[in-house]
C-alpha cells in the first residue's frame, strides 16, 4: 500500500470518533465542544450557548475568584486576558483548582461599556472532571 493510501485510510478511521465527540448531550441540552482560544476570540458567537470546554482552573484577579484559563502558565501568572470567569461555589470545584479540567457550562459574553478587558463568564457548570484524573 502506498503511503498516501495508508495516511488517507488512517485519517478516515480515526476522524470518525472525533466527530462523534464534538457535541456532548447533557440533560436536554447539547454542549458544543469549543477551544478556549476560539471562545475568547469570538465571545459573541457563543453567547448563551452550552459549551464543552477544557482548560486550567485557577484563581483569577484580586478577589481570588475562579477562572478557566487557556493554559497552566496563564493561570499561574494570573493572565486574565486568557481566561473566562467561572461563577460557581468554590466548594463545588475545589478538587479542580490548580489543575486542568473538562466541563460543560453555559457561556455569557461580555456586554456593555468597559468590557474590553473581560471575556465573559461561565455558569451552570456540570460534568466537571479533573484531567488527568488524580492518582
Secondary structure (DSSP) of 84-134: EEE-S-HHHHGGGTTEEEEEEEEEE---STT-TT---EEEEEEEEEEESPP
Beta-strand pair 121-131/83-86: parallel
pTM score, whole prediction:
0.76
Residue 65 lies in a domain: yes
Instruction: Classify residue 8: in a domain, yes or no.
Output: no
Per-position pLDDT tens, the chain of length 135: 555 554 444 444 444 444 444 555 545 578 999 999 999 999 999 999 999 999 999 988 777 889 999 999 999 998 989 999 999 988 888 899 999 999 999 999 988 776 666 899 999 999 999 987 666
Task: Please answer whether residues 50 and 29 qualify as being in contact, where contact means their C-beta atoms are separated by less than 8 angstroms.
Answer: yes
Domain range for 66 is: 23-131
What does the block give as the cell for 85?
A: 470567569
CATH number of the domain at 102, please. 2.40.50.140
CA distance 117 to 105: 21
Question: Is residue 7 included in any domain, yes or no?
Answer: no
Q: What is the total count of domains within the chain?
A: 1
Q: How far apart are CA 35 and CA 33, in angstroms?
A: 7
Amino acid at each position: 500500500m502506498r503511503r498516501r493510501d495508508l495516511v488517507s485510510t488512517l485519517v478516515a478511521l480515526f476522524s470518525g470518533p472525533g466527530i462523534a465527540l464534538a457535541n456532548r448531550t447533557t440533560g436536554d441540552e447539547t454542549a458544543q465542544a469549543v477551544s478556549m482560544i476560539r471562545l475568547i476570540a469570538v465571545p459573541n458567537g457563543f453567547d448563551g450557548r452550552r459549551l464543552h470546554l477544557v482548560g486550567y482552573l485557577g484563581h483569577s484577579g484580586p478577589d481570588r475568584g475562579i477562572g478557566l484559563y487557556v493554559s497552566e502558565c496563564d493561570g499561574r501568572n494570573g493572565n486574565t486576558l486568557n481566561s473566562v470567569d467561572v461563577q460557581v461555589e468554590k466548594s463545588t470545584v475545589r478538587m479542580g483548582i490548580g489543575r486542568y479540567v473538562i466541563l460543560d457550562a453555559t457561556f455569557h459574553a461580555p456586554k456593555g461599556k468597559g468590557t474590553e478587558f473581560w471575556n465573559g463568564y461561565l455558569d451552570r457548570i456540570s460534568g466537571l472532571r479533573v484531567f488527568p484524573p488524580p492518582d
